[in-house]
Each structure stands twice: as structure tokens, then as C-alpha cells.
Homo-oligomer: A and B are copies of this chain.
Amino acid sequence: MARFVCSDPLPLESGRSIPSFEIEYEVYGEFHPERTVLLCHALSGSSHAAGEGGWWDGMIGPGKALDTDELCVICSNTLGGCSGSTGPSSPHPDDGKPWALRFPVITVGDMVNAQRRLADHLGVDRWKAVVGGCLGGAQALTWLQRYPERCERVAAVGITGATSPHSLAFYEVLRQSLRLDPAYGDGDYYSEGIPTAGMGLNARIGMLFWMTPEVMVARYGRELLGDDYAYTLDPEFGIHQGMAALGAGAGAKFDPNTMIYLSRAMDYYDLARGYPDIQSAMAKSLRPVHLVSYKSDWRYPPERVEKLSEALPGARHSVLDSAFGHGAWLFDTATLATTLAPFFRS
């Protein structure tokens, strides 16, 4: 675990700026400025990508797809995050109290600009690769669009060229469920403790999307907690208990304000914005790109990823099978590792 402290103000796309910021990151493999990969996490991720509890441990390590015998992998907690980097839970420079909703609205481009400062600080002129899924993939593709000279290649999984209307609606549901939590209040809850019920509901809603009906049948079926129907309003089915466990886990460790800010950044994500079309937006991004989508991921479906692929001069697109839909790149990494390993080795 390491931390980069940047005392220079970071101008934001909104026109506002952050007077100073910190980025927490983890380093896997021996650092070398010419063979370092930047790994970007998704909405509820952190810089802890590899090792015990790491969100992409199946992908990172000696001999794995991101082979730390050959490469150094740096995963940074995004700007706006709640796992060490500056975000709504961090102290405001004026009064030392948490920013809460005083934190400025940020975009994926702002996250990338903060990472660029980290690259400068580390002396990395060009990442060996920039890699990520979902929001992390949006960051990787934004690097590709804005700073192609600073990334040798890009791999993006489960992401399209813009946030779809369905995902706009999905993120709005996540935010509304956080705000409904009585403990959320006006968002400045830090002295009382982080609210957990809204994040618990978020996790349950998320499960409806990443865990496909087939996986739920295999894992839970209609199994009861007791011997028979109890005719109560309490959880009576195994899947209810599974959801409660998932909700408790998610609620215990994540700041709702970070979810609100990061999901809003995803709302704005649209590579073609300011360009006539996606082709012209990506015309200068002449780098090898490997896109991966999943047949069961109807939130980021292969057809829409293929449209992005067609707009990228150097892109290859792999469509994989998995029962885990949009969660496949996190929960079902074996095929993904086989698919991406040659790309990182080349």
C-alpha cells in the first residue's frame, strides 16, 4: 500500500477544482517505469486487487494473466473513492471535516487526470497497459482517447462507449436507495458512522443484475431456511439469507457518498461527447485494444461492445460465455485470464 500526495490543484471538467488530493495505490510485482500496468477498479472496488480478498486475484500474480514476474501492476483507488484516495469522506482542506456533499462532482476524465498525476509522480511516461472493467474499463478507454501516447495498449471488459439509458436508470436507482436510508440524512453522516442499510439494499439490487437467474437456480433454488413455509414476512428462503449476507458485507465497508459520486461520473461517461461520432472521437487512439464482453451481460451487451470495437482502429473484441452476466469479469475470471494473457504478453 502506498499513497501519492498531490499538492497541486486538480482542475475538473465541471470548471471547479480540487485544491489537493491523495491517491492510494497498491503495487504488485517489482516496479519498473517501463513495464507497469495501470489497473482501474469498478464502482465498489478499491486498490486491493491481488492477494487475499483482492478483487482480481485470479488475474494478477506470478504466471497469471497479469504476470507479476514480467509486469508490475499498479491499482489505484480512484479519485472520489473511499479506500484511501481523496473523496467525500476525506477531510476538506478548509476545516478538516469530511467533504461530504461539498465534494465536487467528478467525471471519468477527472479520475484519469488524477491517475496521470500519479504516472508523472512515478515516472511512468507510458503505461505498459491500462486495464479495467465497467467503470475501470471506462477509465482505460478514456486514457486511450485522451492520452494514447501514454498507454501502450488498453484492455477493457464489460464496458461500452457510453453509459446506456438503462445504466443511467440503474445508477439512479442505486442513488435513490442510498438516499432513502434514514441514516443518510443530508449526506454529512460521518460523525455518526457510515450508513449501512442503503448500501445493503444496493448490494441486493446489484445481485439481481450480475447473478443470472441460472446461477440463482443452481446456488439457491427455492430452498427453504426451515422445514416448511412458516407464513411470516421474515426471510424464509435460502436466497433471502444469501442476499442479507451480501448486503451486510457491502454495507459494512463502503461509503454511500462514494457510490453516489462514482455512479454520477458513470452517468456522464460518453466517449463521443464533443465529437460528431465515436469514430472521430477515437481516430487518434491508434493503440492495440482488447475488448471483452459476455453473452449473458445484457447491461453491456456484445452488440454494443462490437459497435465500439468497430470505431477503434486497433481493436479486437472477444465475446465470452459465462453464467455471471455483468459480474463475469469479477466472479468468473478463468476464461477471461486465458483470453487476455496473450494480449499482455505481446
Contacts and interface: CB of A to CB of B under 8 A. Distances in A.
Interface in A201-221: 201, 204-205, 207-208, 211-213, 216-217, 219-221
Contacts of A341: none
Contacts of A182: 180, 182
A26 interface: no
Contacts of A298: 213, 298
Most chain B CB atoms below 10 A, which of A12, A170, A180: A180
A231 B105 contact: yes
A192 to B, nearest CB: 15
B177 A216 contact: no
A229 B268 contact: yes
A117 interface: no
A287 interface: no
B222 A162 contact: yes
A175 B204 CA distance: 11
Given A235-B172, A236-B267, A221 B101 contact: no
Contacts of A333: none
B180 A231 contact: no
Contact of A165 (B177, B198, B236, B239): B239
A36 B267 CA distance: 51
Interface string A116-141: 00000000000000000000000000
B205 A180 contact: no
B166 A205 contact: no
A272 to B, nearest CB: 10
B204 A172 contact: yes
A235 to B, nearest CB: 7
Interface residues of A, number: 61
B208 A169 contact: yes
A210 to B, nearest CB: 12
A306 to B, nearest CB: 15
A169 B173 CA distance: 16
Given A169-B243, A177-B177, 15 more contacts: A12-B231, A13-B229, A13-B231, A104-B231, A105-B232, A165-B237, A166-B213, A166-B216, A169-B208, A176-B201, A180-B180, A180-B197, A213-B301, A233-B260, A236-B267
Interface of A: 12-16, 101, 104-105, 107, 162-166, 168-170, 172-173, 175-177, 180-182, 197-198, 200-201, 204-205, 207-208, 211-213, 216-217, 219-222, 229, 231-233, 235-237, 239-240, 243, 260-261, 264, 267-268, 270, 298-299, 301
